[in-house]
Chain A
Amino acid sequence: MQHRDFRIMGVVACFLQVSLGVTLLFLTLAASTPVSTNFRGISLQDQAYFSTQIIKCRDGSKSFSLERLNDDFCDCVDGTDEPGTSACPNGKFFCKNQGYTPMEIFSSRVNDGICDCCDGSDEYDGKITCSNTCAKAGKVLRERLEKKISIFKAGLEIRKRDVEHAKVTIAKEKSELSVLKQEEKKLKDQVQGLKVKKEAIEKAEQEEKLQREKEEKARKESETDDASEQASKVEAESEVAVSEDITREVQEAETESAEQSEIEDGTHSDLSKEEVGHLGHSETESAEQSEIEDGSSHSDLSKEELGRLVASRWTGENPNIDQEVEGADEEEHSGHDRSTYDDRDNEHPDEASGEDEDDDDDDEREDADDHNEEDEDSNTVDSTDDVFTDDFHWWGRLKHKLKSISDAIARPFKSPVDTSEADAVRKLFKEATSKLNDLQAKISELEKKLEQDFGKGGEFFSLYGQCYELQMNKYTYKICPFKNAVQMEGRSTTSLGMWDGFKDDYKYMHFARGDRCWNGPDRSLRVKLRCGAKIELRDVDEPSRCEYVAELSTPALCLQERLIVLEQRLHGQVEDRHDEL
Chain B
Amino acid sequence: MPLSTAPCLALLYIFALTLVARSVYSWRREEFRDCNQTPFCKQARAAKPTHDKYEVFEVALINGDLHAKILPLSTENGEPSTPLSLELLFYSDQIIRLKINELHDPSDESKRNRFEVPNVIENTLHGKRLRIRSVEKREKMSIVSLASDLEIVLQHKPFEIYVRDDKDRILSFNNKGLFYFEQRRQKGEGDDWTERFRTHTDSRPRGPQSISFDVTFHGADHVYGIPEHATSLALKYTRGPEITSEPYRLFNLDVFEYIEESPFGLYGSIPFMLSHSAARSTGFFWLNSAEMLIDVLAPGWEGDDVNRREVHESDNIDTQWMSESGIVDVFFFVGPKPKDLLRQYTSVTGLPNMPQHFATAYHQSRWNYKDEADVLKVDGAFDENDIPYDVLWLDIDHTEGRRYFTFDKSLFPNPKEMQQKLANKGRHMVTIVDPHIKRDDGFFVHKEATSKGYYVKDAHGRDFDGWCWPGSSSYPDMLNPEVQKWWAEKFSFNNYVGSTPSLYIWNDMNEPSVFNGPEVSMPRDSVHHGDVEHRDVHNVYGYFFHMATADGLLQRSGGKDRPFVLSRAFFAGSQKVGAVWTGDNTAEWDHLQVSVPMVLSLGITGLSFVGADVGGFFGNPDPELLTRWYQLAAYYPFFRAHAHLDTKRREPWLFGEPYTSYIRDAIRERYALLPYFYTLFREANLTGVPIMRPLWMEFPDEEMTFAMDKEWMVGNSLLIHGVYAEGSTSESVYLPGQGLWYELKTGNSFPGGDYIKVPVSMSAIPMFQRGGTIIPRRERPRRSSSQMVDDPYTLVIALNNAHEAEGEIYIDDGKTFNFAEGAYIHRKFTFSQGSLKSSGINGQRNGKVFTSSSLIERIVILGLELPITSHATVEPGNRRIELEVGSLLLRPGMQSNAYILRKPNVLISEDWSIKVL
Co-assembled chains A and B:
yes
Q: Which A residues fall within an 8 A CB radius of B?
A: 4, 8, 11-12, 14-17, 19-20, 59, 61, 71-75, 77-78, 86-90, 106, 108-109, 112-114, 127, 268-269, 272, 275, 278-279, 282, 285-286, 289, 292, 295, 297-299, 301, 303-311, 313-316, 324-325, 338, 341, 358-359, 361, 363, 366, 517-521, 543-545, 547
Q: Write the chain A residue with the least CB distance to B857.
A: A73
Q: Can you give 9 A-B contacts (C-beta < 8 A)? A: A72-B857, A73-B858, A77-B891, A87-B780, A279-B9, A282-B12, A307-B466, A307-B515, A359-B3
B199: A residues at CB distance < 8 A: 297-299, 301, 306
Most buried by B among A14, A89, A106: A89
Most buried by B among A8, A71, A279, A310: A310
B790: Cβ under 8 A from any A Cβ: yes
Interface string of B363-405 (1 = CB under 8 A from A): 0000000100010000000000010100000000000011000
Contact A87 B467 (CB under 8 A): no
A298: B residues at CB distance < 8 A: 198-199
A292: B residues at CB distance < 8 A: 28, 30-31
6 tightest A-B CB contacts, nearest first = A307-B467, A307-B516, A295-B30, A310-B515, A297-B198, A306-B516
Binds A, one of B17-25, B596-604, B749-757: B17-25
Contact B879 A8 (CB under 8 A): yes
B472: A residues at CB distance < 8 A: 304
Q: Write the chain A residue with the least CB distance to B371.
A: A541
Given known A279-B9, A289-B19, A308-B467, contact A543–B374 (CB-CB < 8 A) = yes
B16: Cβ under 8 A from any A Cβ: yes
Interface string of B472-502 (1 = CB under 8 A from A): 1000000000000000000000000000000
A12: B residues at CB distance < 8 A: 877, 879, 905
Contact A285 B19 (CB under 8 A): yes
Contact B781 A545 (CB under 8 A): no
A428: min CB distance to chain B, Å:
29
Given known A19-B853, A286-B16, A520-B646, contact A77–B895 (CB-CB < 8 A) = yes
A475: min CB distance to chain B, Å:
14
Known pairs A73-B858, A278-B9; list 6 more (Cβ under 8 Å).
Answer: A8-B881, A87-B857, A282-B15, A286-B15, A324-B401, A366-B3
B647: A residues at CB distance < 8 A: 544-545
Instruction: Report the bound CA distance from A289 to B23 in whole Å.
Output: 9
Tell me the B859-917 residues at the A interface (CB within 8 Å).
876-877, 879-881, 886-887, 890-892, 895, 902-903, 905-907, 910
B787: Cβ under 8 A from any A Cβ: yes
B892: A residues at CB distance < 8 A: 59, 77-78, 90
B802: Cβ under 8 A from any A Cβ: no
Q: Write the chain B residue with the least CB distance to A301.
A: B199
Contact A313 B23 (CB under 8 A): yes
Q: Write the chain B residue with the least CB distance to A110.
A: B780
Q: Write the chain A residue with the least CB distance to B467.
A: A307
Q: Write the chain A residue with the least CB distance to B665.
A: A89
Given known A8-B881, A298-B198, contact A108–B646 (CB-CB < 8 A) = no
Instruction: Report the bound CA distance from A285 to B790 in whole Å.
Output: 60
Contact A544 B516 (CB under 8 A): no
B6: Cβ under 8 A from any A Cβ: yes
B240: Cβ under 8 A from any A Cβ: no
The B contact surface, by secondary structure, is loop
B873: min CB distance to chain A, Å:
11
B99: Cβ under 8 A from any A Cβ: no
Contact B9 A275 (CB under 8 A): yes
Contact A75 B886 (CB under 8 A): yes
Of the residues A15, A19, A306, contact of B515 by C-beta under 8 Å:
A306
Instruction: Report the bound CA distance from A547 to B649 in whole Å.
Output: 9
B326: min CB distance to chain A, Å:
28
A75: min CB distance to chain B, Å:
7
Given known A304-B516, A543-B374, A544-B648, contact A89–B668 (CB-CB < 8 A) = yes
Instruction: Report the bound CA distance from A73 to B905 in whole Å.
Output: 10
Contact A108 B780 (CB under 8 A): yes
Instruction: Report the bound CA distance from A317 to B31 in whole Å.
Output: 20
Contact A112 B5 (CB under 8 A): no
Given known A8-B881, A272-B1, A299-B199, contact A15–B876 (CB-CB < 8 A) = yes
Total A-B pairs, Cβ < 8 A: 187
Given known A61-B895, A268-B1, A544-B649, contact A88–B890 (CB-CB < 8 A) = yes
B779: A residues at CB distance < 8 A: 74, 89
Contact A108 B386 (CB under 8 A): yes
B31: A residues at CB distance < 8 A: 292
Instruction: Report the bound CA distance from A325 to B886 in whole Å.
Output: 59
A279: B residues at CB distance < 8 A: 5, 9, 12
A60: min CB distance to chain B, Å:
11
Interface string of B425-451 (1 = CB under 8 A from A): 110000000000000000000000000
Most buried by B among A299, A301, A309, A324: A324
B858: A residues at CB distance < 8 A: 73-74
Instruction: Report the bound CA distance from A405 to B144 in whole Å.
Output: 122
Most buried by B among A77, A108, A269: A108
A85: min CB distance to chain B, Å:
9
Contact B520 A310 (CB under 8 A): yes
Instruction: Report the bound CA distance from A325 to B396 in whole Å.
Output: 12
B5: A residues at CB distance < 8 A: 272, 275, 279
Contact A306 B467 (CB under 8 A): yes
B386: A residues at CB distance < 8 A: 106, 108
Contact B857 A308 (CB under 8 A): no
Contact A15 B910 (CB under 8 A): yes
Instruction: Report the bound CA distance from A268 to B906 in whole Å.
Output: 82
Contact B907 A16 (CB under 8 A): yes
Of the residues A14, A74, A286, A305, contact of B877 by C-beta under 8 Å:
A14
B689: Cβ under 8 A from any A Cβ: no
A264: min CB distance to chain B, Å:
8
Contact B516 A358 (CB under 8 A): no
Of the residues A299, A311, A358, contact of B469 by C-beta under 8 Å:
A311
Of the residues A75, A127, A366, contact of B790 by C-beta under 8 Å:
A127
B472: min CB distance to chain A, Å:
7
Contact B470 A325 (CB under 8 A): yes
Contact A112 B1 (CB under 8 A): no
Tell me the B519-544 residues at the A interface (CB within 8 Å).
520
A290: min CB distance to chain B, Å:
9
Contact B790 A89 (CB under 8 A): no
Contact B16 A17 (CB under 8 A): no
A324: B residues at CB distance < 8 A: 401, 471
Contact B787 A113 (CB under 8 A): yes
B245: Cβ under 8 A from any A Cβ: no
B783: Cβ under 8 A from any A Cβ: yes
B20: A residues at CB distance < 8 A: 518-519
Instruction: Report the bound CA distance from A421 to B402 in whole Å.
Output: 78
Contact B1 A89 (CB under 8 A): no
B434: min CB distance to chain A, Å:
13
Contact B879 A114 (CB under 8 A): no
Contact B516 A275 (CB under 8 A): no
B2: A residues at CB distance < 8 A: 272, 275
Contact B910 A311 (CB under 8 A): no
A314: B residues at CB distance < 8 A: 256, 644-645
B424: Cβ under 8 A from any A Cβ: yes
Contact A303 B516 (CB under 8 A): yes
Given known A12-B879, A306-B467, contact A73–B902 (CB-CB < 8 A) = yes
B876: A residues at CB distance < 8 A: 15
Instruction: Report the bound CA distance from A272 to B8 in whole Å.
Output: 13
A299: B residues at CB distance < 8 A: 198-199
B645: A residues at CB distance < 8 A: 314-316, 545
A63: min CB distance to chain B, Å:
13
A113: B residues at CB distance < 8 A: 426, 787
Q: Write the chain B residue with the least CB distance to A9.
A: B905
Q: Write the chain B residue with the least CB distance to A334.
A: B16
Contact B877 A311 (CB under 8 A): no
A305: min CB distance to chain B, Å:
8
Given known A20-B853, A272-B2, contact A341–B30 (CB-CB < 8 A) = no
Interface string of B122-161 (1 = CB under 8 A from A): 0000000000000000000000000000000000000000
